[in-house]
Amino acid sequence: MEFEDVARELLLVAPGDFVAERTARQRAARKDDRDLATAIGKLRKPAPAAWVIDLLAHEGALDEAVDLGPALRKAQQDADPGEIRKLRQQRSGVVDALAQAGADLASDAGHPVTPAVLDQVRATIEAAMADPHAGAAVRSGLLVTPLESVGFDEVDLDGALADPDAVPDAWSGSDAPPIPISEARGARKASRASRPTGTRPQDEPEPEAEPEPKRDPAADRKAARQAETTARAESRDADAALDAAETALEQAEDHRADLQRQLEQAEADVERAERARDDAEAASNEARELLAAAQKHRRSLGR
């Protein structure tokens, strides 16, 4: 099997069973393909939200959400408030339905997820709608970390896939620039500001009851990126520590298996030595009996 196929199968395993199953698959592959075994050993355990996304991808449940992305991006680029409002309602329904479906799949697999994990699942699905590259990533079934759309930046896919080479669409160029859904309100305000005073189409949403406080979008995006960078660094450190611990566990298990084989060999050697000793004692007893018989016969002849 190719590594990407093995990875897809392993990423569907419940998190609590992942390490044991990965070790078993690595040992099985080591007999015929050591390179594949090495790649399997390096496969990271997926974050719970990424595991849920992979379950949904395996069921083909993410297609509708990803396919909705281009329409959302176009509505935002066109600053079409009515279309944005309609698509946002549709997006909300799709995301909620998929999150619930993911929660059901996780429960069926014996690993219910927390509300915090489901929030990450929703954020990942929304990122897939916002960025076509992220859409390809979540559809692949090879996700190991949740995704998030921040500001106008492309979704960061660094380290997000178990086998990036298997998902070229996650990295290739696209004519549809990634525009996060969270910026829809800004597009609507820009559209309103460009119209003559006193006119308002019927499909434009009613003005907010209270004006929102003025914010600096650039500063907000910068702060969000900094927070995300810090969180990602902490997550990578934790992943590295976990990988090191899992590697140490695998090495300890291999060492224990070697010791077990050596013990079994030693026990076999002892058993053979004991049989040889018993055979030697039997031969010695037989020789003594023959000697005694010969001596007795000799004495009888001398009389």
- Listing DSSP states for 57-126 in one string gives HHTTTTHHHHHHHHHHHHHHHTT-HHHHHHHHHHHHHHHHHHHHHHHHHHHHTT----HHHHHHHHHHHH
Query: CA angle, corner 159, sides to 18 and 103, nearest 5?
Result: 50
How would residue 122 be classed by pLDDT, with cut points 50, 70 and 90?
very high
* Top-confidence residue, 259 or 56: 56
Q: For residues 210 and 119, give the distance between their C-alpha atoms in angstroms, rounded to a whole number.
A: 28
Mean pLDDT taken over the chain: 76
pTM tops 0.85: no
Q: Is the pLDDT of residue 62 over 70?
A: yes
- What mean pLDDT comes out for the span 167-188? 49
How would residue 106 be classed by pLDDT, with cut points 50, 70 and 90?
very high
Q: Is the pLDDT of residue 117 over 50?
A: yes
pLDDT of residue 195: 40
Q: Is the pLDDT of residue 90 over 70?
A: yes
Residue 9 C-alpha from the chain's centroid:
11
pLDDT of residue 138: 93
pLDDT of residue 215: 58
pLDDT of residue 301: 80
| Tokens of residue 144, six digits | 């190991």
Q: For residues 158 and 166, give the distance between their C-alpha atoms in angstroms, rounded to a whole number.
A: 14
Q: Which of 159, 168, 76, 157 is nearest to 124 (CA)?
A: 157
| % of residues, the chain, pLDDT over 90 | 34
Q: Which of 76, 167, 166 is nearest to 129 (CA)?
A: 76
3-class DSSP state of 21: helix
* Top-confidence residue, 25 or 169: 25
- The owner of tokens 């992942």 is 18
Q: Which tens digits make up the pLDDT trace of 220-272?
A: 555 655 555 565 556 555 555 555 555 665 666 667 666 777 877 777 777 78
- The owner of tokens 């329409």 is 71
* Top-confidence residue, 100 or 212: 100
Distances (CA, A) of 172 to 69, 129, 200: 17, 16, 41
How would residue 17 be classed by pLDDT, with cut points 50, 70 and 90?
very high
Q: Across 68-82, 204-218, 283-297, which has the greatest mean pLDDT?
A: 283-297
Q: Which tens digits make up the pLDDT trace of 196-228?
A: 444 444 444 444 445 555 556 556 555 655 555
Q: Is the pLDDT of residue 116 over 90?
A: yes
* Top-confidence residue, 151 or 145: 145
- What mean pLDDT comes out for the span 83-103? 83
